């Protein structure tokens, strides 16, 4: 008797991929995204499809292409859907934030831990030992998985496209080039960009939050959320990236 495979009957159809430039290579984003759902549920759905959740820097490459790419590309229905995803929902950004009186820590979150585990400033500082200062007030760990933007390097609230590109909190999340490209993306909206976060005063306890990117129809501006709890069932969407190798 022959052994029966675990899944003996299966139909595998092609994936719709959006190819965009990213770090001198090609990024293959799978369309459509998962969600809208909670932070953890959307990430689990992406991982269940054997895809890698899109990173913050990859999101910028996708958004830059969708807003600033060639006109013919921007008019493709899948690319219009990328823009609609931020206008009608939000895009989850897989990173964890710890807002403190001294500044904000950004921890990359490819496994979508979210708020299920506490972050501790002392532990994060250990991981930042030997870190490099990418711009004044913003440090990256050697492996770039932990970043810190000191208070004074960032501003919460309304920005210009120029100030957004130089904002410490934005750089900590999206890296230098990502922040610059988000500044350019923000010029495609009628109103100036806006950054939401948590202002922790001296003597107050640190607060953990998550991130998302949006551009709601009614605001017609690029919105960078860094104060999300991640548990809204109306939620946000998350794109997956086809793994290579």
- pLDDT per residue as tens digits for the range 95-140: 999 999 999 999 999 999 999 999 999 999 999 999 999 999 999 9
> Which pLDDT belongs to residue 243?
77
* CA 85 centroid distance within chain: 13
What pTM does this model have?
0.92
In 3D space, the residue among 104, 243, 91 whose CA is nearest the CA of residue 173 turns out to be 104
Q: In whole angstroms, what is the distance from residue 17 CA to residue 22 CA?
A: 14
Bridge partners for 97 per DSSP: 106, 209
- CA–CA dist 98, 94 (Å, integer): 14
Q: How many Å from the N-terminal Cα to the C-terminal Cα in the chain?
A: 35
CA 18 to chain centre: 17
Q: What is the dihedral of CA 74, 77, 79, 85, to 10 degrees?
A: 130
Phi then psi for 36, rounded to 5 degrees?
-70, 140
- pLDDT for 190-207, tens place per residue? 999 999 999 999 999 999
No. of helices (H) and no. of strands (E), the chain: 7, 13
Residues 6+ apart with CB under 8 A from 223: 193, 194, 196, 213, 214, 215, 216
pLDDT at position 245, please? Answer: 53
The DSSP 8-state label assigned to residue 224 in this structure reads E
DSSP at 132? E
């Amino acid at each position: 008797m022959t052994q029966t495979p675990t899944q003996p009957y299966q139909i595998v159809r092609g994936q719709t991929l959006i190819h965009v430039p990213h770090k001198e290579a090609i990024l293959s984003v799978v369309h459509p995204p998962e969600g809208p759902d909670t932070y953890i549920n959307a990430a689990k759905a992406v991982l269940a499809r054997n895809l890698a959740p899109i990173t913050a820097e990859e999101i910028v490459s996708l958004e830059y292409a969708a807003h600033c790419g060639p006109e013919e590309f921007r008019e493709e229905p899948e690319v219009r859907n990328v823009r609609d995803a931020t206008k009608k929902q939000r895009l989850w950004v897989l990173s964890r934030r710890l807002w403190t009186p001294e500044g904000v820590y950004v921890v990359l979150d490819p496994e979508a831990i979210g708020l299920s585990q506490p972050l501790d400033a002392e532990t994060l500082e250990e991981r930042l030992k030997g870190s490099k200062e990418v711009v004044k007030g913003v440090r990256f760990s050697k492996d770039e998985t932990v970043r810190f933007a000191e208070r004074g390097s960032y501003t919460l609230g309304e920005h210009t496209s120029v100030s957004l590109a130089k904002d410490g909190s934005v750089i900590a999340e999206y890296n230098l080039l990502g922040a610059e490209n988000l500044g350019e993306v923000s010029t495609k909206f009628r109103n100036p960009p806006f950054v939401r976060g948590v202002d922790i005063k001296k003597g107050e306890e640190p607060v953990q939050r998550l991130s998302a990117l949006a551009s709601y129809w009614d605001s017609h501006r690029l919105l960078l959320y860094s104060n999300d709890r991640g548990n809204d069932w109306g939620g946000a969407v998350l794109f997956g990236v086809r793994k290579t190798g």
